[in-house]
Amino acid sequence: MRNKIFWLIGFVITVFASSCSKDSGCKPVPVDNEKAQLEAFNTSIGMNATRHSSGLYYEILAAGSVNKPIQASTVYVKYKGTFLDGKVFDEQSNPGMTGFLLNNLIDGWKYAIPMVGKAGKVRISVPSALAYSCQGATQGAVPIPPNTPLYFEIELVDFL
């Protein structure tokens, strides 16, 4: 009898767990699928972009100091983020309002920010898979739809 109860409890837990792990339908766009769109965008804004192995496009405008942040660094930045149509979805000109742990940011920033040192400037066009992917983002005044490539201008003011 005891074995039957344990078996029944195990069965119920298995059924419950499998029902909670159903496919959410979230399908990230492969980075290469947005390559032509990002290259056309880069050309349209006169960005002399280099393609990172991740699929990120970047242009270093100012290298900044020799020392560069690592993934565990807290970064203080000025930035502007736009959709490829030019609409601003987020910006911050006061670096004191940032203080972001680099490792907690979108992958595009994780790759780009360590390319520059203090006082460095970089602009990036980010495939959606390296931004907010198929989840999108709803924090902030302007929601970012799922699978949306983005553009950022970033100045690394300081890091710890």
What pLDDT was estimated at residue 24? 72
What pLDDT was estimated at residue 11? 36
What pLDDT was estimated at residue 57? 98
What pLDDT was estimated at residue 16? 37
CATH code matching the domain that covers 28-159, chosen among 3.40.30.10, 3.20.20.70, 3.10.50.40, 3.40.50.920:
3.10.50.40
d(CA 70, CA 113): 9
C-alpha pair distances (Å), 91 with each of 56, 82, 88, 94, 154: 20, 9, 7, 9, 10
d(CA 79, CA 116): 14
What pLDDT was estimated at residue 23? 58
Domains of the chain: which residue ranges? 28-159
d(CA 68, CA 151): 22
Q: Dig out the tokens for 132 from the structure.
A: 């907010």
Predicted TM-score of the model (pTM): 0.85
Best CA proximity match to 115, nearest among 49, 37, 42: 49
d(CA 62, CA 117): 9
Who contacts 48 (Cβ-Cβ below 8 Å, separation ≥6)? 59
What pLDDT was estimated at residue 78? 98
Q: Mind listing the pLDDT tens digit of every residue in the chain (160 residues)?
A: 444 433 333 333 333 333 344 557 899 999 999 999 999 999 999 999 999 999 999 999 999 999 999 999 999 999 999 999 999 999 999 999 999 999 999 999 999 999 999 999 999 999 999 999 999 998 778 999 999 999 999 999 999 9
Q: Which residue has the tokens 């005044």?
A: 141
CA angle 97-59-139, nearest 5°?
A: 35
Q: Which residue has the tokens 């159903």?
A: 22
